[in-house]
Structure 1
Amino acid sequence: MKEKEYDYLVVGAGLFGSVFAHEMTKRSKKCLVIDKRNHLGGNVYCEEKEGINVHKYGAHIFHTNDKRIWDYVNQFASFNNYINSPLSLSKGKLYNLPFNMNTFYQLWGTQTPQEAKAIIDEQVAKYGTKSPKNLEEQALSLVGKDIYETFIKEYTEKQWGKKATELPAFIIKRLPVRYTYNNNYFNDRYQGIPIGGYNTIINGLLKGIETKTNVDFFKEREQLEGLADKIVYTGKIDEFFDYKHGQLEYRSLRFENELHAIENYQGNAVVNYNDSSFAFTRIIEHKHFEFGKQSKTIITKEYPEAWDPSKEAYYPINNDKNQGVYQEYKKESQKLSNVIFGGRLAEYRYYDMHQIIASSLTKVEEILGIEK
């Protein structure tokens, strides 16, 4: 039997595939990485415009509590000290996020944790319920009426394209409330943006590895599958199995970029637009991720959209129906010894960047454990 040209064909050049290929190449395995887009990096890809690294597929802020993952990414890039402190615009007024003492002062004029907690507790008792049946009831039971109506209701309805009363309660498992004056969105110990953008990390991971862009795995499937002993697949799992158990559902996003001939548009990297009168959910001003001093600025308006196969799949709709369909595909995937499924689309779950990297490293370790 003729020996195949590669040990691994990696379908998808995002973080999962890039980390996997890097680790296997270090261990003398030959990898080919392909992607149907015209660039490497998946959704963390940055496009340089006017000297600004534009996060092409939405804001990506690296954060983790895992020192092993932090040390891992720091092999490929130096990180700045960016702290994510988004603002939220509601009914013409700006508030700090996440919900903290600054937010409560802006909302009610409260100055002590006791005052703020008393208002939230009173509203939860008045409007909440012990067994929330939908997202609205869940939110009211967690934070009360004012926070729900000011920050959650209209934003969430735009995000999911449905009324909050029609959305399942599990979408909001918890709503962190801080009784300190702390605008740092994440609690993680390590946080920042790679200096020079995320392409620095991807280029470091894939250095010396053969890559091909503008390659659609499904258009050349037979030929591509014949190239390698094993396939690492990071695309949509239902597409891999030709939708035999039905199509999984997602929410999509549309991004509109604007170049402004001013130094500073909004004074912050991320501003949420809660009101339904704005079709977009937030405006990202990219230069603030890297403390840019350029004379111009680029902003991106982020519009949630209904998904169809012609659009990018961003957020899995994890209701019972879709989870049932996914479990059928997962059973199919477990029957294939020569295909490794990994990443957001192949596992039908939302991952943060540090979780994707950890998942890929774990998969490599599992395989090496089997092969020893």
Structure 2
Amino acid sequence: MKYWWMSLILVGLCLSGCTAKRKVEIIEPTFMEEIQTECPVYLSIATAGNFSDAPYGKVFQSCLDDLNASGLFDVSLYENGIMGEDAQLIRAVQNGTISVTMMSPSGQTTVVPGASLLDIPWLFPDSETYQNFLNESGMRFLEPLYAEKGLVLLGISAHDYRYLTSNRPIYSVEDLQGLKIRIQDNICHRILWESLGAEPVPIDFHELYMALYNGTVDAQENPYVVAKSKRLYEVQDYIVETGHLPTVYVYVMNQEQWNQMTAEHQEMLKAEIQRYISEVTEQTPKIVGELRQWLTETKGMTLLTPDEAFQKELLAGRQAVVDYIKTQIGETEVELYLSLADSYLQLTRARTARTE
């Protein structure tokens, strides 16, 4: 019994070891739950555009307010290119410097070449059908193309179709010959108008009005809201309702940051983005109708609607864009996407016929 005290020490160590182990098993999950539910996830959202002052700005702000008020998120919004232009922002999201970005497809093609599929013109007759296609089929097709680049596709919105405005009337493709059209720096847009005989000229958006005013270009293409906000009715006489493309915005997030969030965080973020897209889709027809009326009746612009012959001529531009995209991502991928879009369009027409 000379070393009885050593036995007591060993027993004490064993008990303390068991107690410590038991405490870790009980406390650690509770501590992690506290982190996940009580500490909001910081989200940096950046865009080169200006969502707050857009016609749908109130809806956008409401979604941000809901995210912040939930206690699950602490959101900081950076607009107007403060954090960089589109090509820089998509790279920043990919490497995790920024959490989320919203931009047009052309700004993402350097990272996700398949985003150019969203620049194929004249796929659907209206923005509502286009949006429903994206919600039901298009998103699922595109998600893997983003995932393989370390990005999560949160949503795609398609609204406010783009129309041509010009300082001379356009009734056919013949009238497009040599027409200098201001475009954004987008190769698919350039190919579209070049294939129709026009001369597309990439010009910075902030220089658009002066380029039309001083005759650098004769025409431009944008949704109606731009014709109002940029006062294009002062330098353009005609609106040609080409409706070649909707205004598309793609919402993407860094995949690693997405994976680190709880299911509750993920569900709420996606739900708010879908709420924004849904409300914008619902409001678009009314806003577009009011803008069209204001531009024509109040500001005196002449509205020209392409007839059937002109519409058929314009489809040559779609084929030129499709042929280019095939060289970038492969013929199989493009044909699958077009087949999916065509099937959805036929399904929509069948549904409409049954309800009439």
More strand by share: 1
Structure with the larger RCO, 1 or 2 (CA within 8 Å, 6+ apart): 1
> TM-score when scaled to structure 1?
0.24
More helix by share: 2
> TM-score when scaled to structure 2?
0.25
CA radius of gyration, larger in: 2
